């Protein structure tokens, strides 16, 4: 059986459900509506967007700003993305270069040979790179001339807020997004606190710019047939209900951890049991300990203690109750202040039923002291 469950992007058979979200994104692209996809890390935002873009058939570029904090890093990523988009809009030839130079006069355009054959390469004529606004206006003019539309997908957009280059990027993107009918923007991000500030603050350029699409966990009811489909291919039968239940309970249906756990489960030749699932999950938690530690580095001892108590209380609704306050040894104000920090770092969330819980199931597992 081919590899289905991976820690990277999900494509083809490995992509589970998201039918409603995919249809909404297709509709937005068709209508020229810019979209903001928001969720905690590793919920499958990138996979969702790329799955739709591949099927839509429009020329697109994926600009990933993850861990790009300096102006140079952001500019380099944008230039690379624009080069890829140009290659998809118009066939890379010497004649095409002459056409492109009419739209991008401040940039030297050449041909280079990449994985997919010849592609465009952009180099600023002067030491100072032309603005993002100039680049995108050139793309827009080319699309108008070719009577085409294209999608620019910018991943982990909140990163620009941490850069001194951020205000220029935000202003340029808003200018083009409002002006163009030929470029559709898809933005995604995982820091919900920063994205709310970017898109809900009246003083910021992105205010009211996009259709907001929050991405939730995939329900167990969708995962069960997905897992059984591959269990039949692997072992010739469905997984027993107790095995399915322990998989969905341990991972809390977190898309990344479902894949990480099932990657281990499905690489074994023996049919899964509850005991083997527990052993595999313990191994996942040990392997993920490093990333969990990095999440906790900026927290104080009291904030970590509060996180631990949240993990131990699956029915927590009243964090300022006398009982809970006594357990964490904080004042009600101290609890609220610490909760604000945990929300800001996207470590906890409140459900539609007002239950407070830890987002990452591995972090929750460690916080409850279940691994020694």
Classify residue 135: in a domain, yes or no: yes
The predicted model gives 309-335 an average pLDDT of 93
Output the six-digit token pair for 360.
């990452």
Has residue 126 got a pLDDT over 90? no
- Residue ranges making up the domain that contains 50: 18-214
> What is the share, in percent, of the chain residues with pLDDT greater than 70?
98
Q: What is the pLDDT averaged over residues 277-299?
A: 91
Identify whether residues 279 and 140 lie together within a single domain: no
pLDDT at 372 exceeding the cut of 50: no
Give me the pLDDT at residue 298, please: 84
Q: Are residues 170 and 48 in the same domain?
A: yes
Check whether residue 255 and residue 134 sit in a common domain.
no
Structure tokens at 369: 């002291």
- Among the residue ranges 62-66, 123-127, 182-186, 365-369, the one predicted with the least confidence is 123-127
* Mean pLDDT within 113-138: 84
Residue 33 is encoded by which pair of tokens?
Answer: 């509506």
What would the DSSP string read from start to end of 155-180? ESGGGGGGSTTHHHHHHHHHHHHHH-
Give me the number of domains the chain comprises.
3
pLDDT greater than 70 at residue 368: yes
State the pLDDT confidence band at 2, using cuts at 50, 70 and 90. low
What's the pTM value of the predicted model, to 2 decimals? 0.91
For 43, 122, 226, the CA distances from 262, given in Å and listed in that order, are 16, 42, 11
What region does 61 belong to: left with phi over 0, alpha with psi -120 to 50, or beta? beta
Same domain, 268 and 319: no
Say yes or no: 198 and 263 in one domain. Answer: no
In a domain, 292, yes or no: no
Which of 173, 188, 214 is the endpoint of a domain?
A: 214
Q: Indicate whether 78 and 136 sit together in one domain.
A: yes
Q: Looking at the domain assignment, is residue 37 inside a domain?
A: yes
Residue 94 has pLDDT above 50, yes or no: yes
Q: What's the angle, vertex CA 327, arms to CA 321 and CA 331, rounded to 5?
A: 60
């Amino acid at each position: 059986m081919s590899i289905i469950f991976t820690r990277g992007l999900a494509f083809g058979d490995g992509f589970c459900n998201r039918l409603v979200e995919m249809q909404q994104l297709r509709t937005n692209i068709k209508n020229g509506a810019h979209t903001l996809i928001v969720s905690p890390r590793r919920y499958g935002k990138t996979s969702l967007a790329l799955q739709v873009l591949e099927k839509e058939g429009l020329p697109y570029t994926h600009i990933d700003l993850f861990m790009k904090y300096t102006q140079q890093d952001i500019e380099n990523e944008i230039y690379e993305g624009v080069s890829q988009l140009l290659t998809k809009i118009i066939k890379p030839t010497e004649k095409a270069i002459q056409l492109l130079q009419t739209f991008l006069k401040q940039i030297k355009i050449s041909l280079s040979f990449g994985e997919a054959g010849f592609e465009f390469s952009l180099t600023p004529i002067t030491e100072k790179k032309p603005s993002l606004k100039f680049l995108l206006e050139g793309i827009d003019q080319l699309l108008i001339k070719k009577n085409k539309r294209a999608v620019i997908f910018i991943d982990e957009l909140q990163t620009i807020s941490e850069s001194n280059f951020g205000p220029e990027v935000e202003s340029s993107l808003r200018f083009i997004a409002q002006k163009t009918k030929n470029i559709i923007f898809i933005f995604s991000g995982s820091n919900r606190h920063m994205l709310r500030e970017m898109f809900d603050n009246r003083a910021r350029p992105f205010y009211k710019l996009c259709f907001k699409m929050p991405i939730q966990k995939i329900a167990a009811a969708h995962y069960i047939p997905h897992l059984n489909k591959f269990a039949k291919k692997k072992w010739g039968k469905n997984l027993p209900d107790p095995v399915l239940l322990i998989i969905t309970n341990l991972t809390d249906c977190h898309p990344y951890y479902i894949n990480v756990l099932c990657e281990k489960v499905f690489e074994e030749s023996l049919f899964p049991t509850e005991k083997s699932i527990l052993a595999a999950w313990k191994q996942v938690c040990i392997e993920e300990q490093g990333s969990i530690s990095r999440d906790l580095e900026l927290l104080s001892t009291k904030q970590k203690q509060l996180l631990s108590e949240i993990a131990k209380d699956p029915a927590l609704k009243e964090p300022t109750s006398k009982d809970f306050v006594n357990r964490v040894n904080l004042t009600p104000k101290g609890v609220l202040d610490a909760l604000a920090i945990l929300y800001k770092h996207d470590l906890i969330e409140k459900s539609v039923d007002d239950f407070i819980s830890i987002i990452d199931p591995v972090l929750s597992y460690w916080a409850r002291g279940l691994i020694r």
